[in-house]
Every structure is written in structure tokens, then in C-alpha cells.
Structure 1
Amino acid sequence: MSDESGSAGGGGDDLSSLSGFFFYVFIVHPATAWILKPGRFDRKKSIMYAIGFLALLAAVKTGMEMQAKGPNHYSLLNVSRNSSPLDIKRAYKKLSLQLHPDKNPNDPNASSKFDRVKKAYDVLIDMEYREVYNKFGQDGINSSKRFDETQFFMELGVFYVTWGIMAYVLTLGKRSSLGRQWTFTGLIVMLVVEITLMTSQGSPFPSWFMPQNTEYEAVWLLHTLFPALMNGCRSIGSYLYVDLDAQTRQLLLALQEQNKDILLVLRDVQIGVQNVQATGGGGGGGRLATAGVVPPVGATARATPTGKIKELQDRLQVSNSTVQQAVGQLKSEKSNSNFGFYAMILGYVAFSYIFSS
């Protein structure tokens, strides 16, 4: 088992991020959507189950990847990140006596264990190598990498622009607006933390905080957990989203149906009044005149029951046409983004291959 592979911007991590992307998008996201399906669980329980499922899955997956990477140089020598060269010499001397092949003739892996400890000692005893190792991992030592501000920000830009495009495409649509906000907030926080870690002189961590881990490993952990964060934000954000336009449209449709029912009733009433007047029941205008009330000029027709009903009918018809117009304006256009989604996946694969080669 190798002690480490890849670097913060290297090909190993690119492949790991790509596999994590496919895993979360095509397996985890549908499973989370199943948990969050309306009516399956209570609202609070659905959110708790989804968060617990995502956290557990991310923890297991990340733990397995960390175990596959193996212990780092500090863990091998059982020293801390701030150990002095003298402490490292003492730790190496103690381990070399225990792990030397001559002391373990029955162990077929004794030689490889001793070589790993020797490699760790050679890196950590040299303060310049140690700084490179803390920032870039074992690949940085193998390639004699040094911190170059221009190269660092170019690699940083490639990584975050790629993930920013993916996050945007995956969160298209109104239902994903909350998830998009949360995802980009997490992306910005991760960017600030990574810049702080990689541009700091010396160790940016307190001595008590993860004493055997490096800045490289912290950045790797952020990159590994981001796909889980993004898909969790997508799922939970879509679940919590309230479509106010759809609710307004439903209310307007209900009002439109109510107006139709009222118009039908008014037509029946109007027909009934006309029948009564035709059989000699008298009109409203006659009663007003008998009572000594003179209707205003031009309002005689509307003073009658039939006129009043006609006026109300006209108003309801205007209201009904206004409601129909509002419903038409609220019809949202659903854009089919499947083609763009798969094109984005292919683009990301090609992008990762080009910049990791």
C-alpha cells in the first residue's frame, strides 16, 4: 500500500473527484430524492433522514479513501507536524531498530516497511522538503515542486471554474435556486480556506489541531467532501423550495372557476327576472317611480333588477378575462436541460483528462 498518491491539483485527485462526482450524481442523488419524496415520511423526518444518509455515506466513502491512501509521514514516524529535527531523529532511530529486516526475518514486508519509514525520515528531517510535503504531498517531493503563485492560482482557477460550471448546470431551474445558493456559498468558503492554507507561511493550524495532518490533506478532504455537499444542497434545496408562482396560478385558476359558476347562476337569475317581468310582475323602474324616486338620466336601465344583474355580469366577465390573462403570464417555460447535462459531463471528463495529463 502506498503512503500517498496525488496532490491537491494532481491527476490522482482529479480522478478521485470525477469518480466521486459520478457516484453522488447517479447513485446518491436519486437515493436522496427517494427519501425526500413528498408523502413518504414526515417533513422533519425526511430532512433528518436525508442529512443523516448523506453524512454517513460521505463519512464512509471518505474514510475508505483515506485508508486506501495510507498513513502519512508524520503518522509513520509517530511525530507531530511541529516536531523538531531532533524529535524526528529519535523517532526514526527507535522505529528503524524495530522494523529493520534483520530484526524481522519472518516478516515478508519488513523491507518495504523499513523503506517507507526511511523515506518519511528523509523528507521530514529536511525543513525545505517538509514544507513542500505539507503543501503538495508526496507527489510534490517526487517532482521537486515548489510553491509558485502564478501556477497555483492557475490550477486553482481551473478547479473552481470547472466545479462552478458543474454546480450551475446541476442546479438549473427554479426548484434548485436554494441549492444553488448553498452550493456556491460552500464553493466560495472552500476557495477562501484553500487559499489561506496554501499561501500561509509555516503551519496555519494550531499545534493541537490535527497534529499529524498537513495542509495538503486538509485541501484534499475539502475537495473530496464537496460533491457530497453539492448533491445534498441540490436534494434538500429542491425539497424545501416553495413555488409561489405555481401557488398563485392555482389560486387564479380557482378564482376563474368560481367566476364561471357565478356567471352561470346570474344567467339563471336574469332569465327568471325576465320571465317575471314578462308575466306582469313589474320592473324596478316602475316601483322607483311609484315611490317618488326619479332615477338619474342614463341610469334607468341599470336601476332595474335586470340592469343590475347585467352590470354584475359584465364586471365578472372582465374579471374572468383578467384572471385568464394572469394565468397565461404565469405559465412557466420548462427547458429541457438533459442535453446540456450530459454535454457538461463529457466536457468535465475531457477537461480533467487534458489538465491531468
Structure 2
Amino acid sequence: MTDAERAHPGAITPEQCEWFHDSFERLVDNVGTAVLGKRDVIGLVVAAMVAGGHVLLEDSPGTGKTVLAKALARTVDSRHARIQFTPDLLPSDVTGVTVYAQASGGFEFHPGPVFAGIVLADEINRASPKTQSALLEVMEEGRVTVDGTTHAVPQPFMVIATQNPIEQSGTYPLPEAQLDRFLVKTALGYPSRDVAVDLLLDSFHRSRSDDVQPIIGTAELSAMSEMASRVHVERSVMAFVAELLERTRSHRDVALGASMRGGLALARLAAVWALAAGRAFVTPEDVSRLAVPVLAHRLVLDPESRFAGADGASVVAAILTELPLPEHRSA
């Protein structure tokens, strides 16, 4: 894509579509050199990055959550940082701190690890709620306020958080306000038999993510995000999203349904997903495909329904089976 095409937004050309599709495939393939056999999950995480969102990876230990996050961070030629969340981690360990500098006779701000393009928040649910809340402002607004002074973080900015759903001793569940700030929640799962054999044969190669090389810069990533904002979306498709949100709020198993933030996230991700498929328009099928990873973690279920085995994913999936797809025209 030429500089002139980037500078003059408008209808997306076939050449631009092809450039986006090829760039997206390169990103997925690059991360896939570290995370074997999980192309669908990698594609979802890469799409979330292009959409300007944050990702929560929740899975059992040893499934490659940290490897995926590190590989994605290394794929983008941008500064990245890793924060190991622990019970004794303080908010200032995340955001930074203002200290008195004796040499200058004034106070200086020392930025924390959150001032990076891609931030890996490893085992985020092991930190106290006070420390978890240090991420709320930066995840929503791209800035950090310390001692009354606001500091902007680099753009594009993304948080990739991991948590283990099995081992709950010494953990603090993420509050609904923070879960709502994650565009996508997904899981890797265990590898297939063939992939497991390949990994076992290469067991001494313990740092696959360290071998990943940057293949895209922040300017190209920003160009991809800007192009996604120009994808054609029919009103009927957005009406489908709105009705989906409303049905989560009135569902018998749900105490608190999906917010408008969730709907906006779904719309943005669907636009990226369409371009990744080589289309300049969103279809209802795009929305349906992405609804569970975008909306399920935002639902607060009724305690009795949760005890009976219901979860957010099953609720969204059930709504989708009842909700007819609208007719649409290709742009």
C-alpha cells in the first residue's frame, strides 16, 4: 500500500484489501512459529491487536499462554514489557512513581513497565484488587495519572493478560469493570497429538518465543487499524449486534448483560476480521463468529444458573441459535 493511499481515506480498494490480508497472514504465520497448531486462536489475538483491544488468555498451566503473548510482542517492532503479577506487587510497580531528585531539586516521574507498546500481564489474578485497578485507566484511555499528572503511553498500546482458571488459591478474581476492558477472552487448549509429538521431539528448545523476529512496525500496524475503521458495515448488521446485546441483558441466566463497550468492541473486531478474510464489508457471519470470545466474559450470571453449570459462552451461543441472521448486501 502506497503512502498516498494511506493519506487519503475513502473506499477501500482491492489492492488495499490484498495488502491487509497479506500483512495479517504474515503476522499470524510469524507468531505461529512459536505457538504450533493454534492458528485460529493466534488469528483472533492478532485481530484484537489490530482492532486496538486487549486480550485475556485463560487456560490451564503449560498450554503456551505466555509463549503466545511474548511471540506477539516480539512480532511487532515496538517496545514490550512483562509484568509478573504477585500478591505483593504494588500499583506503583506497574504505573511508575514520582521521586524527589536531589540533583535538580525537583520531583521526577520514573515510568513503570506499563509504558510500553505491548504489555504482558502474567498471572494477572495473583495481584491484589488495588494493583489490578492500576490498569483500568491505561486500558481504557491509553494514559496513566500519577500524583495528579497524566502521562500518555506509547501508541499503539495493548495489554495481554494471562490467568490460570484451575489454581485459585491466593488469587483475586478480576472485577467486572476490568473484564469489560478486555476486547477478547480466549484459550489455547492442549495441542493435538501430532503437534505434541513435534514439541516433545524438540524438548530442549525451551524459548520458542525468543526466536520470533519483528516483521511489522507501529506505522504499519496503525495503517491496518485505520483501514479497518473504513470497512463498510450495513445498518442491518449493527442492528443484529444491538439485538444480541439486548438479549444478553434479558436472558434468564444473566444478572448483568453485555455493555455498549462490548458491542463497540464486537463491531471493531468484526471489521478487522472482514479485512483479514479479504473483504471490505462486514457480514452477520463475522459477528456471529466473534460474539462468544468478545461477549461471554462480560456477562455476570445468576448464581443459581452458574451453580447449575451455565457459563457466558453457552448463554451467547444459545442466543445466537435463536437469533436469525439478517439479510445483507456485499458492499
TM-score normalized with structure 2 length: 0.24
Larger helix percent: 1
TM-score normalized with structure 1 length: 0.23
Larger strand percent: 2
